[in-house]
C-alpha cells in the first residue's frame, strides 16, 4: 500500500488492516492511533445510553449546538460565541484551511500531520515546509525552533502548529509561541493532545485568543476520551471567524448523540477534571516506562516525548520490522512515511495500558532479535 494512501496517512485503520490479514479486528493491538486505552469515560457512556432512547436520534440536532457550546466555553472561560463544535478536528481543519488559502502561503512544520496538507488541497492552498530539528532533549516545555532550518526566513502568511507536536511529542512553551502570532496573518494551533499532558494547559494559547484575532485553536475530545468513532472536536476563535465557518458547512456537522453526550460529560466539571487527571497520570507513567524498555532493544532509539506516543528511530529501515510485527504479532504501529521529513527509518507508537505496553515491548524485542543481521 503506498505511503500516501488514505489508509496509511492516518493511524487507527484497524478494520481495514484486519480485512487484509483475514483476522478479527479484536485480534490486532492497535498502537498506530494515539487514543486513551481505558476509555470512553463511564459518564459519557451512560449519557449515550440515555440519549439512544430519547430525542437525540429522532430529532434534528440543535443547529446552534447551544448546550454543547456552553459546556465547552465553560471549560475555557470563554463566551459560547467563541466556540464552534465540529465533526472531529479534521472537519474544522478544512474550514481553517479555507481561511488559510485565502490569506496566502501556509508554513507547515515538518515532520507534521498530513491532514493539514489534505485540508489545504481542498481550496488550492499553497504551503511550504519548515523542517524541524530531529534531535531534542526531554526538558519539556521547550522553545519552538522558529528560526532554524531551510525556509525559516522565507515569507509566509499562515503558520500551522501542533502542540504537543505530532509526531515527535515535543511540547512547545507558550512563551516561545506567543511572538509568532505577530509574524503571521493567521496562526492555526492544533492542541488535540495537550489535555493529555500533565501541566500541558500551562502552554495552551487559548488565553491569548482575546488579544489576537489571527489566532485559531483547535481541540478534540477524540484523543482524551477515546471516542474516535463518535467524532467530536471544536474550534476556539473570534466569533466573526467562526460565524463565517458556520455559513460554509453542512447544517448538522455534529450528530445528536455526540452533541448530547459531550455536553453532559463536560457539564460535570469535577468528574471531567478527574478523568483528565487520570489520563495525564497514565501518559506521565507509561511513556517513560515504554521508552525505557524500547531503549534496551538494539537498533531502536525512542525519542523524548511529552505526549501519549513515542517516535522511534531505527538504525536502518524499520518497514520490515513493522510488517513482521503486523503479520506475526498482530501489532499495528504507525508507518511514518506519510510525515513529511521522515521515512522508513521511523515508527510512531501510541501508548497503551501496562499490559498492552508489555506486549509491544516483548513483540519488538522478539522480532528485532529475529531481524538482527539486517536490523542492528
- Kindly provide the residue ranges of all beta strands, DSSP E only, lying in the chain, ordered along the sequence: 29-30, 83-86, 106-110, 127-131, 158-162, 186-190, 215-220, 233-236, 300-302, 309-314, 331-332, 334-335, 346-350
pLDDT at 221: 95
Residue 235 bridge partners (DSSP):
84, 218
pLDDT at 21: 80
Q: What does the pLDDT profile of the chain (376 residues) look like in tens digits?
A: 333 443 355 566 777 887 888 787 788 899 998 999 998 999 999 999 998 888 888 899 999 999 999 999 999 999 999 999 999 999 999 999 999 999 999 999 999 999 999 999 999 999 999 999 999 999 999 999 976 544 556 789 999 999 999 999 999 999 999 999 999 999 999 999 999 999 999 999 999 999 999 999 999 999 999 999 999 999 999 999 999 999 999 999 999 999 999 999 999 999 999 999 999 999 999 999 999 999 999 999 999 999 999 999 999 999 999 999 999 999 999 999 989 889 999 999 999 999 999 999 999 999 998 865 455 5
Give the whole-angstrom CA distance, residue 3 versus residue 24: 24
Q: What angle do CA 246, 232, 219 make, to 5 degrees?
A: 80
Residue 311 bridge partners (DSSP):
348
Q: What angle do CA 305, 309, 312 make, to 5 degrees?
A: 75
Alpha helical stretches, state H, 125-178: 174-177
Helix/strand/coil for 222:
helix
Give the whole-angstrom CA distance, residue 118 versus residue 315: 31
pLDDT at 147: 63
Alpha helical stretches, state H, 115-208: 115-122, 174-177
**Which residues, including other chains, have CB under 8 Å from residue 328's CB and lie 6 or more apart?**
367
Q: What are the two backbone dihedrals, phi and then psi, of residue 356, each rounded to the nearest 5 degrees? A: -65, -40
pLDDT at 10: 57
pLDDT at 12: 62
pLDDT at 13: 76
What nine digits make up the cell of 166?
505530532
Check: CB of residue 100 under 8 Å from CB of residue 124: no
Helix/strand/coil for 159:
strand
Domains along the chain? 14-40+272-375 (3.90.1150.10), 42-268 (3.40.640.10)
Q: Is 25 exposed, middle or buried (0-12, 13-18, 19+ CB in 10 A)?
A: middle
pLDDT at 56: 85
Give the Cβ contact number of residue 19 at 10 Å: 11
Give the Cβ contact number of residue 72 at 10 Å: 24
**Which residues, including other chains, have CB under 8 Å from residue 51's CB and lie 6 or more apart?**
57, 256, 257, 260, 261
Amino acid at each position: 500500500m503506498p505511503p500516501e494512501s488514505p489508509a496509511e496517512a492516518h493511524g487507527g485503520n484497524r478494520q481495514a488492516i484486519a480485512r487484509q490479514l483475514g483476522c478479527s479486528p479484536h485480534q490486532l493491538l492497535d498502537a498506530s492511533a494515539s487514543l486513551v486505552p481505558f476509555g470512553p469515560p463511564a459518564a459519557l457512556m451512560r449519557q449515550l445510553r440515555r440519549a439512544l432512547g430519547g430525542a437525540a436520534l429522532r430529532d434534528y440536532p440543535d443547529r446552534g449546538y447551544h448546550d454543547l457550546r456552553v459546556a465547552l466555553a465553560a471549560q475555557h472561560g470563554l463566551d459560547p460565541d467563541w466556540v464552534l463544535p465540529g465533526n472531529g478536528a479534521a472537519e474544522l481543519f478544512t474550514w481553517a484551511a479555507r481561511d488559510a488559502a485565502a490569506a496566502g502561503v501556509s508554513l507547515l512544520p515538518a515532520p507534521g500531520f498530513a491532514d493539514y496538507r489534505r485540508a489545504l488541497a481542498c481550496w488550492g492552498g499553497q504551503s511550504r515546509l519548515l523542517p524541524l530539528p530531529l534531535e531534542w532533549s526531554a526538558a519539556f516545555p521547550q522553545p519552538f525552533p522558529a528560526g532554524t532550518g531551510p525556509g525559516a526566513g522565507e515569507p509566509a502568511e499562515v503558520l500551522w502548529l501542533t502542540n504537543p507536536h505530532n509526531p515527535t511529542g515535543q511540547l512547545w512553551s507558550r512563551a516561545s509561541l506567543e511572538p509568532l502570532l505577530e509574524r503571521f496573518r493567521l496562526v492555526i494551533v492544533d492542541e488535540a493532545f495537550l489535555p493529555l499532558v500533565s501541566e500541558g494547559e500551562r502552554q495552551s494559547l487559548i488565553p491569548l485568543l482575546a488579544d489576537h484575532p489571527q489566532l485559531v485553536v483547535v481541540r478534540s475530545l477524540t484523543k482524551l476520551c477515546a471516542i474516535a468513532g463518535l467524532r467530536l472536536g471544536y474550534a476556539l476563535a473570534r466569533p466573526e471567524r467562526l460565524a463565517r465557518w458556520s455559513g460554509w458547512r453542512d447544517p448538522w456537522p455534529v450528530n445528536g448523540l455526540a452533541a448530547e453526550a459531550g455536553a453532559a460529560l463536560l457539564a460535570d466539571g469535577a468528574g471531567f477534571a478527574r478523568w483528565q487527571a487520570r489520563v495525564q497520570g497514565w501518559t506521565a507513567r507509561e511513556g517513560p516506562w515504554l521508552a525505557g524498555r524500547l531503549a534496551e532493544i538494539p537498533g531502536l532509539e525512542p525519542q523524548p516525548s511529552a505526549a501519549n506516543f513515542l517516535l522511534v528511530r531505527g538504525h536502518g529501515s524499520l518497514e520490515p520490522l513493522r510488517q513482521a510485527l503486523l503479520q506475526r504479532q498482530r501489532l499495528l504501529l504507525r508507518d511514518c512515511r506519510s510525515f513529511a521529513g521522515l521515512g522508513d527509518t521511523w515508527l510512531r507508537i501510541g501508548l497503551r495500558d501496562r499490559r498492552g505496553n508489555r506486549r509491544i515491548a516483548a513483540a519488538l524485542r522478539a522480532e528485532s532479535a529475529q531481524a538482527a543481521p539486517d536490523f542492528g
